[in-house]
A and B are shown apart, each in its own frame.
Chain A
C-alpha cells in the first residue's frame, strides 16, 4: 500500500484547490475494534501514537490498536508548553533526549505533516554564583556528549533577549545563561495528529472513546488482552502509555508505581506583537516563558505541589509565576491572562521517566514523564516500540527501567531524592 493515502504537498494543494478542497480524505479512520491484535497500545496521546507509528514503520507490526479513553491528543499532549530541548546533565537523559531532538529535526518530513518545529534556542538563566558553576558543569557535560550548548554572559544575553531585565538592581540579578540553540518549540496538536495519521496510514487502528477497564491474564500470569468499554480485545503484547494516569491504569493490573500524580499549570496572555523569539526558563524563579505563533505570551512554572488528578490549578502558583515573569520581563506587566489550565503529571521518585518491561510478562510500561514528556514524544515512541517489538529495551532506554528504584540505580537529574514534588 502507498505510505500515505493523501500525501500533503504543493501539487496536492493545487489539485485540491481546483476541486474546491472538497475531496481531501480524512486523515485517520475511525475503525471498530477487532477481537485480536498483535500489539495494543493503551493511550492515544503523543507517546502512544508515536509508539504505534514506529511499531508499524520500523518493526513491521501493523496489526496494532491504539486505545484512547477520550480523543487523541486530548490529555497532556494538548496541555503542555511545547518546549523541546536536550540539555540534560546525566548520561542516560542526555543521550535519550538528544535522540529525541534528532528525531524532531526530521519529524515534519518523516510524517509528511508540519509539526512546526521551531529551533529558536532554549535559554536557562543563572541567578547565583552557585547556579553559574552548576550550569557551567552542565555546559561542559553537554559539549562532551556532543550536544550543542552556548554559555551566554550578560552582554550576549542582552543582545539575544533585549527585553529581559538585566539590571543589577533586579530582585534576583541575572549573571549569565546556558543556551541550547537547537532547542525550541513545536506545535503540540500537530505532533499527535501527525503520528496518528502516519500510524493509521500504515494500518494501525486508532480507537477513540475506548477506555481500558482491566487486563486479561493467562494461567501463567501473562497478559492476554484488555477489557474495555467497547468489549474485550485480545493481544499478547500490551503497552501502557497514559502518563498522568499511569498509577490508575497500572493499578488495574495490580501494580504500584514509584509515581505520584501532580498538577502543573500553564497560562497564556492576550496576543501581542512579536517581542520574544527564544524560550527562556529559570530554575531559581520557577518559571519559563515563550511567545506563541499567535502572539500570546505562554508561561509555566513549578508544580502546585500536592497529589492531584484535578486538571486545574490554584491561585498561589499563578501569583508566584506571574510575579517572577514580571520581574524578569517588566514589559509584560500590563498584559491580561487569557487562559489558564493544568495537566496531571506522572512525577517519579527520581524525576526521570520509565520505559520498559514490567514484572508481568507481555505488559510494557511507558510513563513517569514528570514535566518533560512533550520533548520526549518521538524518542519515547521510538524506544517503546523497540521494547514492545523485541521484548527488550533499546540501549537508549535501558537505564529507564521500572526496577531501577529497588536497585538504587536512580537517575536523579536534580539530586532531590525520593520526593516527587521536588523534581
Chain B
C-alpha cells in the first residue's frame, strides 16, 4: 500500500487517490508549437527508473491535485506539494 502524505488531510492510503501521471510534462504554446512538439507533449514520456515527479488527485479526500516525488523502483515517497504551488 502506498501511503501518501496529503498536505491537507495527513497520511492516506493510495486507494483514496487517482494517479495523474508525469507532472513535468508542459503543454506547449498553441500559437507557436510545432506538430512534433504537440506529439511529444501528448505521447512521449521520460518514464524514469528512479525518482519520478508525478500528479495524484486526492479524489476521496480534499480533492486537491498534488505533485508527489516518488521513486519508481523503491516506491519511497518524498516531497508532496500542492500542484498549484508546484506550477507557480
Contacts and interface: CB of A to CB of B under 8 A. Distances in A.
Interface of A: 245, 247-248, 251, 256-261, 305-310, 314-316, 349, 405-406, 418-421
A418 B45 CA distance: 11
A18 B42 CA distance: 64
Contacts of B19: 305-306, 421
B42 A418 contact: yes
A109 to B, nearest CB: 39
Contacts of B54: 306-307
Contacts of B2: 306, 314
Interface in B20-76: 21-22, 35-36, 39-40, 42-49, 52, 54, 70, 72-75
Contact of A309 (B35, B42, B49): B49
Contacts of A418: 42-43
B45 A257 contact: yes
Given A261-B72, A421-B19, A247 B47 contact: yes
Nearest to A316: B15
Given A247-B47, A306-B54, A316-B14, 16 more contacts: A248-B49, A260-B22, A261-B72, A306-B14, A306-B19, A306-B70, A307-B22, A310-B72, A314-B14, A349-B42, A406-B35, A406-B43, A418-B42, A418-B43, A420-B21, A421-B21
A198 to B, nearest CB: 32
Nearest to A258: B43
B8 to A, nearest CB: 21
Given A307-B52, A310-B72, A260 B14 contact: no
Contacts of B1: 314-316
Contact of A258 (B22, B45, B74): B45
B21 A257 contact: no
